[in-house]
Amino acid sequence: MIMTAKHSDKPCDDFLKWALPRMDMRWEGFRKVRGQVCKRLRRRINELGINSFNDYKLYLLEENDEWQVADQMMRITISRFFRDKYSWTVIENQILPEITTRALENKRPVRCWSAGCASGEEPYSLAILWKEKILPAFPGARFEVLATDSDPFMLKRAVQGCYIHGSLKEMLPELKERAFSLEGSFWCLKEEYRRMVSFELQDIRKELPDGPFDIVFCKNLVAMYFSKEMAIRIFREISEVMRTGSYLLLGNHETIAHEEIEEIDIYNRGVNIYVRN
């Protein structure tokens, strides 16, 4: 088979295979998104007036600070409201009712953390679900969502809360109509939902928020992009900020070496939800 340039980008692929392990990241996670990453790398190589990926390797070996720039270029920021639709059915029908009952019994709020929240699609999905479906069934229940990301640009967009139509394509039309208003070509989340989520700039490799949490979303980040060793270390740390019986949600296409993280058991394999034992 003849590979077109679109399918094969050997210099960039070779560079990524060399650079990613040095950054504690996995090539497997980047395969699907390499087009986007290669584009950013080429732009940077041009900016530096360098001729090739090989020369960029040499540059990285000489300029230690450049690794931080490379790290930023490796960020994948794709997200959607109610991504992995079926897992949201489990969250709505099983997880949220259960943890809300427990929280009410103990007179405390339900606490959620969305790690690697991109422009807010995930934590805002949770806020919408809470306000529209859970709160009416559990009057008086309290709810807190903390959302963290290491990319300040994404957090700025999250706070603004305006999205293109494609970001909302998995949402039920009636929920979309209630929670958003159309402003020009953007769907903007109403203030009453936006104020339910707090955002913080945090690199999950270096720090975690204070727990304990009842639900942790760690989707399409640690298990997908980081090396196995780093992922195990971070998941162990995450388990320490999770309440006993709380839930950890991963992306549909991620796997976690849960047998190496004793504190975590499988809750629902089909939708990749784990429980803190």
Ligand X SMILES: C[S@@+](CC[C@H](N)C(=O)[O-])C[C@H]1O[C@@H](n2cnc3c(N)ncnc32)[C@H](O)[C@@H]1O
**Single residue of 87, 100, 125, 150 touching ligand X by CB under 6 A:** 150
Pair of tokens at residue 197: 């989520």
By CB under 6 A, tell whether 276 contacts ligand X. no
**Single residue of 48, 50, 69, 76 touching ligand X by CB under 6 A:** 76
By CB under 6 A, tell whether 205 contacts ligand X. yes
By CB under 6 A, tell whether 272 contacts ligand X. no
By CB atoms closer than 10 A (0-12, 13-18, 19+), residue 20 is buried
By CB under 6 A, tell whether 214 contacts ligand X. no
Q: Which is nearer to ligand X, 9 or 151 (CB)?
A: 151
> Which span sits near ligand X by CB under 6 A: 14-22, 176-184, 192-200, 214-222?
214-222
Nearest to 183 by CA among 169, 170, 165: 165
By CB under 6 A, tell whether 75 contacts ligand X. yes
Which residue of the chain is nearest ligand X when measured via CB?
116
Per-residue contact track with ligand X, 217 to 256, x per CB under 6 A? Answer: --xxx-----------------------------x-----
Per-residue contact track with ligand X, 116 to 135, x per CB under 6 A? Answer: x-x--xx-------------
By CB under 6 A, tell whether 29 contacts ligand X. no
By CB under 6 A, tell whether 26 contacts ligand X. no
Q: Contact residues for ligand X (CB under 6 A)? A: 75-79, 83, 116, 118, 121-122, 149-151, 154, 203-205, 219-221, 251
